[in-house]
Structure formats: structure tokens, C-alpha cells
Amino acid sequence: MTDLLQFEFMRNALWAALLCSGLCGILGTMVVVKRYVILAGGVAHAAYGGVGLALFLGISPRLGAVGFSLALALLMAWVMLKKASRADAIIGVIWAAGMAAGIIFADLTPGYGSDLMSYLFGSILTVAREDLLLMAGLLAVTLFVGMLWSREIAAFSYDEDFARTRGVPVTLLHFVVVVLISVAVVLIIRVVGLILVIALLTIPPSVAEKYSRSLWTMMGVSCLLSAAFSLGGLALAVRFNLTAGAVIILVASAVYLASLLLPSGGRR
Amino acid sequence: MSEMKNALSFRGVNFSFGTDSVLRDVTFSVPQGEFLIIIGPNGGGKTTLLKLALGLLVPDSGTVSVFGKKPGEDRSVAGYVPQDTGRNRDFPITALEVVLQGRLGFPGAKLSYGGKDREAAMEALKALKMESLAGRSMGELSQGQRQRVLIARGLASDPGILFLDEPLASIDPETRDMLLTLLGELCGRLTVVMVSHDMSAVSAHATAVACVNRKVFYHDSAEIGPDAMEQVWGRCPVELVAHGIPHRVLAVHDHDHGGEPCSHD
């Protein structure tokens, strides 16, 4: 693999894996503790509709996916606040409708089928420089928000009602976290595809949770696990000429299974 | 009557979820230092009453005031102990970090908790005899220990009034007695408002009782002496038990610890 590093696409792939790991570790932890998994899934599939729409309109697919997903993510975030008891069903509808819209737009736009496929399974080996810059930017914003509001985010994650009584801007944090997760999902789709993005967001934090005593440890451990999965998966994919996204997720899933069988470390 | 003497007061408060009326024309005042226990059937509006007092819900009409101010206006005045649903058992957090959340929102808040916050949090844990377990994660603690941590969190801000939602539900009898004794000691110094199903707690510790089922009937300390609880049941016009059973029935449950006195069928 070391010889391959002379190629720019390989260096970009490594950077993408590392940046994704940072995003997945931090925001995936929020997805798991706030039970935003269905929201992340909804955003990922809605993104497909955005890509289709962008191709149909002839604008940048990245822009289309981010814009479309963000709009639907805000709608889903609002549904979670106002219709909490039925949020999962409503989000399920948005999820399916977004995906279906993507397929219809693809039908109406001949010749772009393969582009849409790359959003289904991702293509870490063709990640562009702009994608890396976007990921780095989002990671910087996420870290900034996390450090500025660390206590508020911990309280908001643990107990929303109590946090409200202490003056924590719970509604604002809810929307901020949902927006960060949504943009991250769209960017990570480039690397592992929309089918696998949920796994990369949820598996590392699910393993890390067992061994963590604080949200921040959970985030840190998740980042490291995510990096290990991504780099390990990438190496195996290159070595055996397999689809990188799928290998990354299989590596992650294997470790998750192993962690279920192992006794938990510091806790319980 | 001076508004400042009351720790909590409701005036003509109405609240509904959509078209579903939950509380109607609620008016009562709780003087400082009372130990008020709120009883009533499930779905009768007990938790809603607490959330209105905390400013988590806003009334459709009428006014709620806590020490003469709008709920939530002065964050340092009210402490909250929500019902422990066990929803967050796996959340990675230590007991001390949970209690520190009670220190959020203090004026001049910095980016992290300071030494003063940690002192106050440890003090609160000590009051609940939990200081030796401060570093444990919440998932390792028993239900009774977790409940004590949540109460410590409510006390960490040194509030003038403490609201507790079913703190005695499903905890061991030993912890239950310890908590009741502690709350009994606290009231006087601060006002305690507790939602509970525990009828023996009412008889032994309450200085006031609010019966809640859509309407609220407030029995003050003059009305309930240590032995006069029986009379309260007889006198209260609020229907506490579903299906029209008069709530004299409740007294039967005096020794049914943590039981569910309000769901007869």
C-alpha cells in the first residue's frame, strides 16, 4: 500500500478516511446517544433525491445533495420536536419519498445512471480535493461547536427537560446537531455510499459506549475505532481488489460482533 | 397577601394538549417551607403541574409564579428531579458529571465547570450519602443510587424550591426511608414539591397535599395534622380514583409502599 501513496487518488483516499473518522466519531456519538439513527438514515436517502434533482437541473450534485438533504433534515428535526410520538413513521415516509424522487429524476435524465450508483456505494478512491476541504471545514465547525458548548451538549444529550430548566437552549442545540449530522452524512456518502453511512456512524460509537465514562471519551474512542476500520478496510480493499466501502463496513461489523462477545471494560 | 411569601402560586391556570384539556382553572398557593405532596391518578395532570411550575410548559391562560417571578425567569431558584425512566441507563456519564449539570446556567458561567461547581456538586452528593460513588458511571449504579444522584443534581444549585417527580417509584425501602427523612429535613429550609403514589409518605411527611385530577384541590397544613389525613380523603372534592370510586379507598393503601393506588378496575 505504501507504494500506492505516490498517487494523488490514494493520498486523497487516506485523507478522506481520516476526516470521515473524525466526523463519524464525534457526530456518530450524538446519533447514538440522541437516538437520531432514523434521522441519519432519512437524510442519507433524501440525499439521493437531491443528487437526482441536481443532475436533472444540471447543477453540481454535491450542492444538490447538501441543499435537498438539509431542507428535509430541518423538516425532520421539526417533526421530531413537534410530533415526537410519530416522528419515526413520518421520517420513514420522507426517507422513502426522497429516495424515490432520486430514481425518478434519474429516469428523466438519461446517461447519469452510473453517477447515481456511486452515491449508493461510494467511491473513496475518486474523492476530490473539494470533498476533502468540505470535510475538513465541517470537522473544524463541529469541533468548535463542541468545545464552545461542551457542558450544554452533555446536558442536552443526557436529559433535555432538565437541561431546559437550567437554561440550556435545547431547541437550538437540537437543530444545530441535526444540521451538522446532515451535512456530515452527505459528505460521508461520497466515501462509503448512502447504504453504508449509517453503519459507519453507529458502529464505532456503539462499540465505544461500552468502554466510556463520558461523552467525550466515547467520541474520542469512536474516532480511533472509525480510523482503524477505514484504514484497515481500505488496505484490505486495495490488496484484494474489492469495493472499499463494503470492506470498511464488514471490518467494522466484525469488530462490533467481537465487542458483543467480550466482557465490557470499565463499566458495569 | 404578599406574593413573596409564597414559594409557588397558580392563579386560574388552564392547560391543554391540543384539544385535550389537562388542567382546568387551577388556583392554589404554597407558602415557603412546605412539604407538598401531589397525588392523583395517572394522566390526571400531576407531571403537567410540575412542568408548568418549572416553565417547561406554558399555560393557555392564567399565571404561574415561583417566588413571585415567572417560572424559568430565575434559574437558580428552582431545582428539578425528573422521573427516572431508565431510558438513559447506558449513557456514558459519571454520577459527579450528572450532578454538575445542576450547576449549569449560573451567572458568569465559563466554558467549563469551576472548583466552586465541583465543591457544590460534592456537597450535594454528600447530603445523599453518595460521595464515595461520585466517580462511578450511572450505568453501574442501582436504581436507588441513581435516584439519589438525580436528587443531588436538583439540589446542586442550592434552590429555594425543589420539584420531584415520583422519586420513590421502584426503589428499595431503605433508600425510600432515607430519602423521605432527608426531604423532611430539607423542607423548612426550602420548599419541597413532590409527585408521589406513596400514600404512607403522605401520611408521615407531607405538610400539604394537592389532589390532582384535571382540577386541583389544595389541602394546607392547617387542614392536615399528623393524624388528620383520613379527613382529607373524605373532604377532598377532586375525584382521585377512576370510575367514580370515592377516594376514601386510598387510605386502604397506606402500607402499600410504592404501590399504584389509583388504578382500580
A23-27 average pLDDT score: 95
pLDDT value for A264: 60
Look at A159 and B82 and tell me if their CB atoms are within 8 Å. Answer: yes
A163-185 average pLDDT score: 94
Q: A263-267, B2-6, B38-42, B51-55: which range is least confident on average? A: A263-267
Distances in whole angstroms, Cα of residue A143 to Cα of each of A95, A138, A216, A220, B106 = 28, 9, 11, 12, 24
- Structurally, how many domains does chain A consist of? 1
Phi first, then psi: what are they for A77, rounded to 5°? -65, -40
A90 found inside a domain:
yes
Q: Give pLDDT tens digits for A59-115.
A: 887 888 888 889 999 999 999 988 878 888 999 999 899 889 888 988 888 776 666
Q: For residue A25, what is its C-alpha cell? A: 466519531
Look at B112 and A267 and tell me if their CB atoms are within 8 Å. Answer: no
pLDDT value for B122: 95
A154-170 average pLDDT score: 93
pLDDT value for A25: 95
Suggest the residue from B101, B111, B147 to mutate for an interface test with chain A (most A CBs closer than 10 A): B101
Phi first, then psi: what are they for A116, rounded to 5°? -65, -35
Residue B253 binned pLDDT confidence (cut-offs 50, 70, 90): very low
A66 found inside a domain:
yes
On the question of pLDDT at B89 being above 90, the answer is: no
A185-196 average pLDDT score: 83
Residue A2 binned pLDDT confidence (cut-offs 50, 70, 90): low
B47-69 average pLDDT score: 93
- Nearest neighbour of B78 by CB, restricted to A152, A165, A267: A165
On the question of pLDDT at A228 being above 70, the answer is: yes
Domains of chain B: 1-77+162-265 (3.40.50.300), 92-158 (no CATH)
Residues of B within 8 A of A158 (CB-CB) are 88, 91, 93, 98, 101
On the question of pLDDT at B3 being above 50, the answer is: no
Interface of chain B against chain A, CB under 8 Å? 51, 54-56, 72, 75, 78, 80, 82, 88, 90-94, 97-98, 100-102, 104-105, 111-113, 137, 139-140, 153, 157
A165 found inside a domain:
yes
pLDDT value for B221: 64
Look at B93 and A213 and tell me if their CB atoms are within 8 Å. Answer: yes
Q: Give pLDDT tens digits for B147-194.
A: 999 999 999 988 999 999 999 887 888 888 889 888 888 887 899 999
DSSP code for B4: G
Strands B35-39 and B191-195: parallel
Mind telling me how many Å the CA of B88 is from chain A's nearest CA? Answer: 7
A218 touches chain B (CB under 8 A): yes
pLDDT value for B56: 93
On the question of pLDDT at B252 being above 70, the answer is: no
Q: Taking all residues of chain B, what is their mean pLDDT, rounded to a whole number?
A: 80
User: The complex's ipTM?
Assistant: 0.85
Residue B109 binned pLDDT confidence (cut-offs 50, 70, 90): low
pLDDT value for A113: 61
DSSP code for B198: -
Q: How many CB pairs under 8 A join A and B?
A: 81
Q: By the 8 A CB rule, do A39 and A178 touch?
A: yes
Chain A CA closest to residue B75 = A166
User: What CATH number does the domain containing A149 carry?
Assistant: 1.10.3470.10
Q: Give pLDDT tens digits for B69-80.
A: 999 888 778 999
On the question of pLDDT at B229 being above 70, the answer is: no
- Nearest neighbour of B137 by CB, restricted to A150, A157, A213: A213
A145 found inside a domain:
yes
- Nearest neighbour of A151 by CB, restricted to B88, B98, B112: B112
Distances in whole angstroms, Cα of residue B85 to Cα of each of A168, B96, B157, B165, B215 = 21, 19, 23, 11, 26
SS (H, E, C) B96-138: HHHHHHHHCCCCCCCCCCCHHHHHHHHHHHHHCCCHHHCCCEH
A51 found inside a domain:
yes
Residues of B within 8 A of A150 (CB-CB) are 111-112
- Nearest neighbour of A166 by CB, restricted to B51, B88, B101: B101
A59 found inside a domain:
yes
Q: Give pLDDT tens digits for B194-228.
A: 998 777 777 677 888 888 888 888 887 666 554 44
Q: Report how far Cα B169 is from the mean position of its chain's Cα atoms.
A: 12
On the question of pLDDT at B96 being above 90, the answer is: yes
Mind telling me how many Å the CA of B71 is from chain A's nearest CA? Answer: 9
A18 touches chain B (CB under 8 A): no
Mind telling me how many Å the CA of A219 is from chain B's nearest CA? Answer: 11
Q: Give pLDDT tens digits for B4-36.
A: 578 999 999 999 988 888 999 999 999 998 999
A171 found inside a domain:
yes
- CB-hemisphere CA count at 13 Å for B166? 17
Look at A154 and B93 and tell me if their CB atoms are within 8 Å. Answer: yes
Q: For residue B207, what is its C-alpha cell? A: 405538610
Q: Taking all residues of chain A, what is their mean pLDDT, rounded to a whole number?
A: 88
Domain holding A88, by residue range, is 3-195
Q: For residues A118 and A8, give the distance between their C-alpha atoms in angstroms, rounded to a whole number.
A: 20
Distances in whole angstroms, Cα of residue A222 to Cα of each of A30, A180, A195, A203 = 11, 17, 20, 9
